[in-house]
Every structure is written in structure tokens, then in C-alpha cells.
Amino acid sequence: MISLGPLKREDMSQLLEWRNQFPEAWRDPRPTTITQQYEWFDNIVSKSAEGRYWGVYADGVFVGQVELTSIIWEYGIGEIGLIVDPSLQGKGIGREAVRLAIKQAFEYLRLETVCGECYYCNDAWRFWRKIAIDWGAYITPLRNRKRWDNRLWDALYFSWHKGECACLY
């Protein structure tokens, strides 16, 4: 069973290992150090009014992290992000974690829109496109969003709106 729970400081080293395996996925591709990871947890995750961060658990075992960041409460919008243990990808964990985070966004945080962006240099764009299509998101490409491996890459932008997201019905 997949569930969301508090993101724990003790899981930061594992999260860091997963994050640093895919630098092409992040806005800032520089490797993160363990000190930076702990600072992020202590200063952002634990205190942020602009984001919500959850650990993803499979039968109680930490297997990833999902987040809603850059929340603009006045407009009811937040951006979704996800990291899943690479050895467990393709097993439905990320899909369920995203569904649960969207449920939190619309039913508890009272957001109106959950959006996201995935660079085409990151193989995860196929995951995001599939669930965006399956759940009725607005989808569009964004030009020249990321410089990686000496070229500019486009990105997939997707946006679900409260009352229209098929993952909740």
C-alpha cells in the first residue's frame, strides 16, 4: 500500500542519493551535498509556507518524496514534484503518490490548480505525459527551458484543475 507521511530528516541521505542520480531532472543540475540536503530540510521543508513535502511510503518503507512547491495561496496554485527510488520505478508508486498529493492539494489545501514541468532531457517526461493525459490535464510544450549536455531542451508543461482531474473520481 502506498501512503504519504511526514518527510523525515533521517531520509535525507537516501533522497540525496536518488536526486544526484538524475541531475538532468532538476532546475539546478549541480550535485547537492549532504550538508545542503540537511539545510534544505531544516530551512525549507520544516518551515515553508510556500510548499508541502511528503515522504512516499510503500508498506511503511520510505520509497520517495512528493511535493507541492511554489504555492501561491492567493491564486490557489502549486507545482508538483516527485522522486521515487529508481529501483522501484515503473511499479505504480509514483502514479499513486502523485494522485495522493493532488488529492491533498484539492481537498485539504484548497488549491484550484496543480501544475508541473518536466524537461525532455529527463526520461520521466513520459511518466508525466501519461498521467497528465489519463487524468485530463492541460498539456503544452515549453520551448528552450533547460540547458543540458550542451543543448537547449524543451519541457512538457501540465496542469490539472480542481473539479476536472480524473484521478479523484
Residue 103's domain is classified under what CATH number? 3.40.630.30
pTM confidence score: 0.95
Q: Which residues of the chain have pLDDT under 50?
A: none
pLDDT at 29: 72
What does the pLDDT look like over 42-58, one tens digit per residue?
988 877 778 999 999 99
Total domains in the chain come to 1
Domain of residue 24: give its range: 2-168
pLDDT at 168: 82
pLDDT at 45: 84
Pick the closest to residue 159 from 114, 110, 124, 126 (CA basis): 114
Strand partners, 66: 54, 82
pLDDT at 43: 87
pLDDT at 30: 75
pLDDT at 49: 74
pLDDT at 96: 98
pLDDT at 31: 76
Residue 70 · residue 136 · CB < 8 Å: no
